Structure 1
């Protein structure tokens, strides 16, 4: 299996065909076709289903693409490390909306100052969606709500969040789960770790029998709570960033309210941009006085 063939293979997949891949790689289409045939002969299976002028990845091609991306990434990492070059290229970063809103502005500004040759794309989503995106290589790294349980992911503690239950300003104080009975819950869609915390605090196996209003914006959630539409659980740091919000803050036990936000990436595949972000976050953790050993911990351990 030739490394150049793998690079050509990935380009064909990314560009959606032979001609566009040839244009990207500054080669003639016949050369690209020959490379693909050589790679298919090497692995012993067809990598594409051919439908007239269109190519569709075969199941075997899907598997090989994952390995090709890992090998190319490792090659790029080795070249940058050995040469001592500054990180460059694209960093596809994910984050919870709460983290992006309340924690990342200064960090991303500092990252850009230190590593101006890295182009950063930020995607927000729920905890579970971000974990899946990193595991499936759609994101390089992500800030999530809790240490991941998925295999193959490494993590570094980043921020500590304190969750608070909010209700309308004129609602009586809520001190126990019983005090929340009869209230509609306002939350992010399924996959949100904070939604699961609220479910555990309410001592419910599921929220199927509870009225749930699903929203995808903390500003919308706070506005609905303030209007008396229901209650919600959210990081207090996000609420602190909304001084105009007229809501009541109700405390829940620390066992449920205290959460750590880790930075996750794929174990053994840490690229130069991810390594740079990890180094920056380790310094942030150290300066904040929290655990600063910079370890990479396997999920579930």
Structure 2
């Protein structure tokens, strides 16, 4: 099996007939038939239903079509990386629903300005599913919080290390963070993700007893509730950096607690240099809390 056969096979699937495909790949119809015959012999399976006119892909052919497109995309991307030519192909990106997700579209736009031939697909989901999809090669990379579930064959590289802040409604008189958290109703981040565990563990370590008034699973909604005067809460700095709405903001933790958001991807990917570029654009947009990468290096899991 070689890439010429695969390109001919894909051309037939996309153009409907062997004859049309022949003009696309600059071969004679006879040469196209010979390539497909050789491919079927090597795979030891028929890829076309030849009882129909023109021949159509059978079930095995449909399965092979997806594989062929993946192989050809990988070959093209690898050639681009090795030759230093403009990056083409598709970058499949997943991201958790995090307060840093606002950085990602801006970073993708900046990446496509640098590589205009690059196509980017973005999907938002839960961290466990995204990690599974990276492992299974359904995603090239994923943006997730520091996570114990990252397997050893994946590389983890944080692009932001930011502090957690105690926030209170506008007009709240200043007092130490511990007193503030115990004096006002508490809007809890009620999501089973690393940020929730980080907050809860530090509250317990400091012996802070809070009085819950609400449990909410998104940081922006928590900020809205605090701004409206519902109570006090704890959020990442980025959630209130640009629009604090005159809320009282104090560092959380002793010493102050930081959380990391980063990128995971498979080791040895031919898109590694592209990952570094996207990572550093995210770090740049994270401002003073950005964490940059050099070369292809990344932290292990």
**TM bracket, shorter-chain basis:** 0.5 to 0.7
**What's 2:199 paired with?**
198
Other structure's SS at 1:175 match? helix
Q: Deviations over 1:227-261 (max 9, x none)?
A: 45555432102211223264654522346x21233
The match for 1:215 is 217
Partners of 1:211 and 1:54 in 2: CA distance = 60
Indicate the SS of the match to 1:144: strand
Match of 2:128 in 1: 128
Q: Give the deviation of 1:105 after TM superposition.
A: 5.7
- Matches for 1:111-150 after TM superposition, within 5 Å: 111-146=111-146, 149-150=150-151
Tell me how far apart the structure 1 counterparts of residues 69 and 184 of structure 2 sit (CA, whole Å). 50
Verify the 8 A CA contact 1:74 1:269 in the aligned structure 2: no
Provide the residue aligned with 1:153 in structure 2: 154
- Aligned counterparts, 1:1-301, within 5 A: 23=16, 71-96=71-96, 97-101=98-102, 103-104=103-104, 107-146=107-146, 149-169=150-170, 170=172, 174-175=177-178, 179=182, 183-187=186-190, 189-190=191-192, 192-203=193-204, 213-216=215-218, 218-227=219-228, 229=230, 231-244=232-245, 246=247, 248-249=249-250, 251-254=252-255, 257-271=257-271, 275-279=273-277, 281-282=279-280, 292-297=293-298, 299-300=300-301
Unaligned runs of 5+ in 1: 12-17, 29-34, 48-52, 205-209
Question: Residues 183 and 260 (structure 1 numbering): CA distance in 2 closer, same or farther, change over 3 Å?
Answer: closer
* Change over 3 Å in CA distance of 1:254–1:280 after alignment to 2: same
Q: For residue 98 of structure 1, report the CA deviation from its aligned partner.
A: 1.7
Higher mean alpha-carbon deviation, 109-118 vs 240-249, is at 240-249
SS of alignment partner, residue 133 of structure 1: helix
CA distance in 1, matches of 2:239, 2:167: 12
Cα 1:180–1:124, aligned 2, differ >3 Å: closer, same or farther?
A: farther
Q: Which has the larger radius of gyration?
A: 2
SS at match of 1:240: coil
Where 2:240 maps in the other structure, the secondary structure is helix
Q: Against the structure 1 CA distance between its residues 137 and 230, is the aligned structure 2 distance closer, same or farther, given a 3 Å change threshold?
A: farther
Per-residue deviation, 1:155 = 3.2
Give the conservation status (yes or no) of the 8 Å contact 1:89–1:118.
yes
Consecutive unaligned residues of structure 2, counting only runs of 5 or more, are 23-34, 48-55, 206-211
Report the count of equivalent residues: 271
Distance of aligned partners of 1:70 and 1:247 in 2 relative to their CA distance in 1, 3 Å threshold: farther
Deviation per CA, 1:161-206, whole angstroms, max 9, x where unpaired? Answer: 112233445497542898389845234x43x3211212322449xx
How much does 1:123 deviate?
A: 3.2
CA RMSD in angstroms comes to 5.0
Provide, for residues 12-59 of structure 1, a one-character-per-residue CA deviation record: whole Å limited to 9, x for no partner: xxxxxx97x66499659xxxxxx9999898668999xxxxx99889xx
What CA distance in whole angstroms lies between the structure 1 residues aligned with 2:281 and 2:221? Answer: 34
Residue 265 of structure 1 and its aligned partner are, at CA, apart by: 1.6
C-alpha deviations, 1:113-155, integer Å up to 9, x for none?
A: 2112222333334443433332233332233222662232123
SS at match of 1:113: helix
Q: Using the alignment, how far apart are the partners of 1:112 and 1:226 within structure 2?
A: 36
